[in-house]
Amino acid sequence: MKLRIFLPLLALVIPLRAEEPDYFPAVAKLIEDRCLDCHSADDPDGKLVLEKHADILKGGESGAAFVAGKSAESLLVKYLRGEVAKDGKKRFMPPGKRDKLSADEVEKFVKWIDAGAKPPQREMSRKIVEVPKVAPKVAPRTAVNALAFSAEAKLVAVGRGSTVELVDPISQLAVKKLDGHRGAVNALVWSADGSQLFAASGENTIEGEVRQWDVASAKVARTFTGHRDVIYALALSPDGKTLATGSYDQKTKLWNVADATERKTLHGHNGAVFALAFRPDGKLIASASADRTVKLWDVASGERRDTLSQPGKEQFAVAWSADGKRLAAAGADNRIRVWSVSPDAKETTNPLVLARFAHEQAILRLVWSADGATMLSSAQDGTVRVWDAAEVKERVLLEKQPDWPTALAFSGGAVVTGRADGTVAFYDAKTGKVIAAPKSGRSERPTSNVQRRTSKVDQPSSVRRRRIFCQAEKAVAKPAEPPKGAVVSGISPRGIERGKMSEVKLAGANLPEIVSVKCEDARVRVFAAGPEKDAVPLVISTPANLPRGGYAIVASGPDGKEIGRATLRIEDIAVLTFPGDAMMTKLNTLPANVWGTLAKAGESDRYEFAAKAGVTMVFDCQAKSLGSKAAAVLSLTDSAGRVLATNSSFDSGGDPFIAHKFAADGRFTVVVSDALMTGSAEHFYNLTLGALPFVAAVFPLSVPANAETKLELVGYNLPSDPAARTVSVKSGASGMVPVKIDAQKFRSRAQASLPVSEVPNFVASEECGTVAGAQKLAVPFSVSGRFLSAREADHFRFTAKKGVTYAIETEAARRGSPADTKIAVLWPDGRPVERLLMQAVRDSAITFRPIDSAAAEARVENWREMELNELMWMQGEVTKIFRMPEGPDSGFVFYTNGGKRIAYFDTSATAHALDEPCYIVEPHAPGTKLVANGLPVFTLHYENDDDGTRVADTDSRLLFTAPEDGDFIVRVRESRGAAGERFAYRLIAREARPDFSVKLAEPAGVVNVGSGADFTLTADRKDGFDGDIVCEIAGVPEGWRVTSPIVIQAGHLVAKGSISALPNAAKWSAAKISANAEVGGKKITHAAGEIAGVKLEGEAPMIVSLQPAGASNDAPPFSRSDAEKPAEITIAPGEAVSAWVVLKRGSAKGALQFDVENLPHGVVVDNLGLNGITLLEGQDAGEIFIKAAPWVPETDRLVFAVSRESGKQASLPVLVHVRRKGLAESANARE
C-alpha cells in the first residue's frame, strides 16, 4: 500500500541556472517538520504563515520574516538562534520545551536567505511512503455510515464501507452498486431530481474526496478534492448549484457543482466538522463540529454569522426545520438542542429555545423530516427515537438496535437505520414496527439482520389597564437627634447580689448635669455621691426578698427630665465581676453569677469548679440578649481537657446554655469564648452556673379554648413531686395565654406563653408509637407529643375525602422545642402516599462552589438550556428558577421568601455539594406511564422535614390532597433521631383555607419635589393560594401620583410601586391600600394598611425619566402630559423594544446607576452591563432594550426607573403592555 504525503510548501517554478544550488527543499522540510504546528494558515502565531513560499514573503505582525541576501538581519534566523530578547528573556523558536534546531539545521536557513531566499526551481512533488500490507485475521466489518433517500429516484442510498448500494425501499433489495471510493463513505446526498448522488469519503491525513455519480449510468461525473483529511459532512444547496463539504481538517469548503471548483473555504472551527445543513432558502449553512459548537455561515459571502456555543461536548449532527426558522443539533452530550434562527442569523438573534435530554449516550445522527413535523435520532446506546418536532417529545421508541445505529433516513412513511455491523432495517415511522422485506426475491446481501421484535411504547399523555395614579408610602423615621449635654452609657458592675449594700458607677459623659438618680422600683434604694465628669458613684440597697431581674436606674437633670437610664441586674446568688483579661478563675462556691468581658480578639475566659457524681449543673450564659456584641460559646471540659459539652445557642434563643449531669467526682472547667474570635469592651457576658432549678419548657404546647389546663414544667433540678412541677393556666377563646412560673423557685430564660387551640386539643397517647396503634382523631385537631426515646415516631389516624386538601403542620422550634420534626402521610398499612412523579428532562450539576440550605443563588452546568420558572431537582429538593445569570460572575437566582430559597411540593431545602448532580424536572401524576428518556424519574411522597415555603422555618408543613376517600395516617418523628423531655411538638391538621394578606414592607419615606421614590408591597400566601393579587391605592392627596394598581404576580411575593410629588404637591395625608384576588372562584378583598408619614422635601439631586423610543429626551418629565397619563410601551413575547432612561442632573454628579422596577416576570432590561444601567459623568440619557421571553402572557404593568444613588430617585411610571406580535406592532405604530 502507498501512503501519499503532501508537502504544502508549493511555489511557482522560476527557472535558475543549473549551477545554482536549490536550498529551498531542505528549508521546506524543516518547516514542515518543526514549524507548521504553530504557523499554519488555520491559527498562525504572530500572524506568520509558513505554508507556502508566498506566505513566508508576507511576514507576520512583527514585520518581514527575512531580508533576502542578509541572514544576519533576518528575524527568522534571529529567532532560530535565540538572539531576540523580550521582557528580559531570550526568545527561541520553536518555543518552550520543544527541541531547538541544531546549528546545521539553522545553517540551511542561512544559506537559503543569503542566496536570495528564492522559491524552488521546480514544483515540489508528492512523496510516496511505502507501507507494508497487513492482512486482517478476521473479516472486517463494513459499517453503514451513511443513508440517503430520494423520493424522485425512489431509492435509498446505503454507504456501506467504501461502496454505495442503491436499495429499492419496497423490496429492500440492492439494485445497483457504486464502487471505488477512497475509504469509507461517510456522507451521502441526492440532487433534487434524483439523477445525481454525491458520496463523501477520503484517506486519513492525506486527502478527502467527494464523488458525484450519474445514477443512471453508474459513472463518476465529477470528483471534488481539496481537503487534507477525510470528509465527514456533505450538503447540497436547495438550488443544486453549491456543494458544501466538512472535514476532519476542521474546514468547511463550498464548491461550484457545475465544474467542481472551490468557491470558498470557511475557517473558524477548532475541531473536525461532522455535519452540514443548508437552510431551505439556501442563504445560510450550519456546521456542527467537534469543538462543541454549531456555526452559522452566510453562503454568499462566507462570513460567520453566529456561533451557537451552548453544547457541552462534540456535535455530530445538524438539521433545519422545513420553514428554516429552527435549527436542531445533537452530539456527545446526549441532547437535542433547538434554536430559533432569525432571517439574517446575526449574533444574539438566534436564541436557544429547547434542549432535550434524548439518549443515555452520545447522539450519532439527527434527521428532520421534509414536512417539518418529525425528528429522528439515534445514539451509541443502541436506541432510535421518533420525535414530535414541535416540542421534541417522543412519539415512538424503536427496538434496541444490535449495534450502533450510525446512519438514519426517512423513506416515505418508513424510518431506515444503518448500523455499525453493516445491517440495514426499515421501520414504520408511526408504530415503530419492523417492515419486513417481501418474501419473493433475494438481495445480494442481507439488508436486515436483526431480531424481529416490537418495542411497545406508551404515548405520554390581566389585569387589564387601569389608568389610576395614586400615591403611596410610609415614611422612614429619621434617627433622633443626638442628646446634648449629659449622656448615660451604662452601669458598672452590671449586676449585684440582693440583700446587700453594693457600690456601682453610672457611666457616661457630662454627668455633672445629673442631679437625681433613682430606681423605677421603689424597693431599690439609690444613694448618689457627687457626680464626676464621666461617672456617678452610686450605692445600691436592696431587700433580701427582692425578685431576681433587671431594674432600671434613671438619671434626671435639674428640670426633673430624664437624661438617661441603665439596667442593673439583681441576683439572689453571689455575683462576681472580673476584668476583661483572658484568665483561669477558680470558683470555690457555687452557685454563682459571673460578669466578664472578652476584651481582646481571640481570648477566652475559663472558670474551674468542683462537681460531684450524679449532680446536674446548668450553665446559662447571656450576651446578645443583654445587648452585648459577643457571639458567646460555652464549652465544658474535664480535668484532662476532654470536651464534655459545647453550645453556641440554646435552641433559637441566640445565647448558649448547657445542662450536664456529671458521671464522676472531679474538677471541671467551663470556657467562655467568642465564635467569631473578636473582642472589645462591648463583648461582655453574664454566666450563671450551679445546680440550680431551671425550667426549659412546658408541656403540652397548646391549651384548649375557655378552659383551665394543668401544664408540666420541664427542665433540670426540678422537684421530684409531680404536683410541685405543675402549673395551671386559664385560657380564653383564642390568642396566647401566658404561663406564670414562680421566679423565686425556678429560673428560666423567658416567660413562656402557649397558643389557645381553635380546634379540638389532644395529647398523644402512649400507644401511638406504631402504625397499628395510631391515635384516631377527627379533622380538625391539634395534638401535642414528645419524643422520649431515640428514633421514636408517633402516628395519628384521620379520615379524609377524595380531592379535599388538608393543611398539616407542626409547631416545635417556634415553641422553643429543640425537636426538628419530619411529617409524612401514610396509607393505613404504613406505605407512603405518592404525590408526584418528577421526570428529569435535562441533567446538570452544581458548579463553582457548594450551596447551603438557604442560598438563593447557584451556578450549574448546562444553564443555557434552562428557562425561567422551570423546576430543578437537587437531591430531593425541588426549587424553581426565578432569574437567569446576569453576567459571567453570577448564577441562577431561585424563588425566595425572606432571602431563603423556596422548596416546592413541600420538599425541604438542604445543602448541596460541588459537582452534585441536579436535574430540570417535569411533574406528573402518580401512575402516569412515562416515556423513558435515559434520565431518572423521582417519586415524591407527601412528606416534609422543614417547611419549604420558609414560613414555619425548621418546623414541618405540607398540603395533602386525598387521592381517595378513607383513612390515612400522619407520622411525626424527630428527623435526627434525638429525644428527651424537651423534645416536644404540636401537630395541627385542618382543611386548607387558601387566603392571602398584603403589607407595606418598605415605605417610600422622603420624596423630593418634582421627583419620586419607590416602595415595596409583600404578600403572605396561605394554604397554597398562588394567584395574582391586585393592590389598589386610594385617597392620594392633590399633586401626588402613585402607581396603581400594583399586581403581585401569581407565584410571587413582592411587587414594587412608586410615589411622585409634582411641583404643586400638597402635604401628604394617609392613603389606603386594599388588596383583592380571586380565591376558589370568589373575589376576596382585604385591607392592606395605609401609606402614611411620607415627608416632602426640597429640590431633588436629580430627576429621572423613563421614556419610550421616539419620545423627546429634553422635555422636563414632570411638566409633560404623562404626569396625568403615563407613556406607553408595547412589546411582543420573544422580542425586544427600545426605551430611554433620561436624566436631569441637579447636585448629582459622576456615574449614576439605575434599575427598571416592577417589570412583569420574564420581561427584562436586556442590555445590562456588569454594573446595571449606568450613565457616566456627562451623559444624561441612555438607551435600553426591554425584552420579553417567548412565554410571557399578555399583561399590563406600570413600571418605573429608580436610581441606586442620591436617595433612590424614581421616575414617573410607564405603562408596559405585553401583546401578541401583530397587536404589539400595530400598537407601537400608533404610539
The reported pLDDT for the residue numbered 42 is 62
Residue 308 CA to residue 296 CA, distance in Å, equals: 8
SS3 content of the chain, % helix, strand, coil (to 5): 5, 45, 50
How far is it, in rounded angstroms, from Cα 899 to Cα 915?
Answer: 24
What is the reported pLDDT for 760?
Answer: 96
Q: Which three cell numbers stand for residue 1155?
A: 434599575
Mean pLDDT calculated for residue range 183-205: 96
Mark 746-776 as b/e (b = at least 16 C-beta within 10 Å).
bbbbeebebbbbbbebbebbeebbebeebbe
Q: What is the CA radius of gyration of the chain?
A: 41
Q: How confident is the model at residue 301 (pLDDT cuts 50, 70, 90)?
A: very high
Decide: 1020 and 1052 in contact? Cβ < 8 Å: no
The answer to whether 1042 and 1033 have CB atoms below 8 angstroms apart is yes
Pick the CATH number of 1101-1230 from 1.10.10.10, 2.60.40.10, 3.30.2270.10, 1.10.3720.10: 2.60.40.10
Q: Which CATH architecture has domain 144-428?
A: 7 Propeller (2.130)
- Tell me the pairing of strands 242-247 and 252-256: antiparallel
5 falls in which pLDDT band (50, 70, 90)? Answer: very low
Nearest to 1032, CA basis, from 968, 985, 1085 = 1085
Q: What is the pLDDT of residue 1170?
A: 66
363-378 tens-digit pLDDT: 999 999 999 999 999 9
User: 24-34 and 103-114 helices cross at what angle (nearest 10)?
Assistant: 130
pLDDT over threshold 50, residue 67: yes
CATH 2.60.40.10 occupies which residues in the chain? 487-571, 995-1097, 1101-1230
Q: Which of 560-569, 1020-1029, 1222-1231 has the lowest mean pLDDT?
A: 1222-1231
Work out the percent of the chain whose per-residue pLDDT is above 90: 71
- Give, as one character, the DSSP assignment of residue 63: B
pLDDT band at 85 (very low <50, low <70, confident <90, very high): confident
Domain 487-571 CATH superfamily: Immunoglobulins (2.60.40.10)
Average pLDDT, the chain: 88
CA geometry: angle 75, 79, 84, nearest 5 deg: 85
Q: Taking Cα atoms as reference points, which of 1089, 937, 955 lies closest to residue 1019? A: 1089
Q: Which one has a higher pLDDT value, 1214 or 438?
A: 1214
Q: Which amino acid is at 527?
A: F
Query: Taking 90 as the threshold, does the pLDDT of residue 1003 lie above it?
Result: no
Give CATH 2.60.120.380 domain extents, the chain.
574-691
Whether the link from the prior residue into 700 is cis, omega within 30° of 0, is: yes
pLDDT confidence tier of residue 143, bands split at 50, 70 and 90: very high
Beta bridge partners of 310: none
pLDDT one-digit tens code per residue, 1032-1041: 999 999 999 9
DSSP 928: -
- Position 12 scores a pLDDT of 34
Residue 57 DSSP label: H
- Residue 450's pLDDT is 33
Query: Average pLDDT for residues 661-666, to the nearest whole number?
Result: 97
* Residue range 733-782, pLDDT digits in tens: 999 999 999 988 999 988 889 999 999 999 999 999 999 999 999 999 99
Percent of the chain with pLDDT over 70: 90
Mean pLDDT of 564-584: 86
> Residue 58: is its pLDDT beyond 90?
no
pLDDT of residue 122: 57
Residue in the structure block whose three cell numbers are 467526682: 665
Per-residue pLDDT reduced to its tens digit, 948-972: 999 999 999 999 999 999 999 999 9
The residue behind cell 422550634 is 813
Provide mean pLDDT across the span 546-566.
Answer: 90
Q: pLDDT grade, residue 19 (50/70/90)?
A: low
CB 1022 within 8 A of CB 1075: no
Whole-model pTM: value is 0.77
pLDDT of 445 higher than 90:
no
pLDDT at 485: 67
Strands 562-571 and 535-541: unpaired
Residues 1183-1218 as b/e (b if ≥16 CB within 10 A, e otherwise) read: ebebbbbeebeebbbbbbbbbeebbbbbbbbbbbbb
Calpha distance 1001→58 (Å, rounded)? 69
CB of 647 closer than 8 Å to CB of 656 = yes
pLDDT tens digit string along 337-363? 999 999 999 998 999 988 999 999 999
Q: What is the CATH number of domain 995-1097?
A: 2.60.40.10
What is the per-residue pLDDT for 20? 66
Nearest-5° angle of CA 383, CA 387, CA 391?
A: 135
pLDDT for position 358: 92
The grid cell for 1077 is 384576588
Instruction: Identify the weakest region by mean pLDDT among 296-310, 580-594, 674-688, 911-925.
Output: 580-594
CA distance 801 to 186: 63
> How much is the pLDDT for 751?
82
Give the whole-angstrom CA distance, residue 125 versus residue 136.
Answer: 32
- Of 118, 46, 107, 101, the closest CA to residue 72 belongs to 107
Residue 826 pLDDT > 60: yes
Which residue is listed with cell 421616539? 1110
How many whole angstroms separate alpha carbon 451 and alpha carbon 937? 29
Span 1151-1169, mean pLDDT? 90
> Per residue in 846-882, pLDDT tens?
999 999 999 999 999 988 889 999 999 999 999 999 9
C-beta separation of 376 from 415 below 8 A: yes
pLDDT band at 714 (very low <50, low <70, confident <90, very high): very high
Q: What is the DSSP letter of 1228?
A: H
pLDDT at position 372:
94
Q: Output the nine-digit C-alpha cell for 542.
A: 436592696
pLDDT of residue 935: 93
The whole-number pLDDT of residue 4 equals: 38
CATH number of 574-691: 2.60.120.380
In the prediction, which pLDDT does 938 show?
A: 98
Mean pLDDT for 326-347 is 95
Q: Which three cell numbers stand for residue 436?
A: 419486513
Amino acid at 916: E
Distance CA 438, CA 451 (A): 16
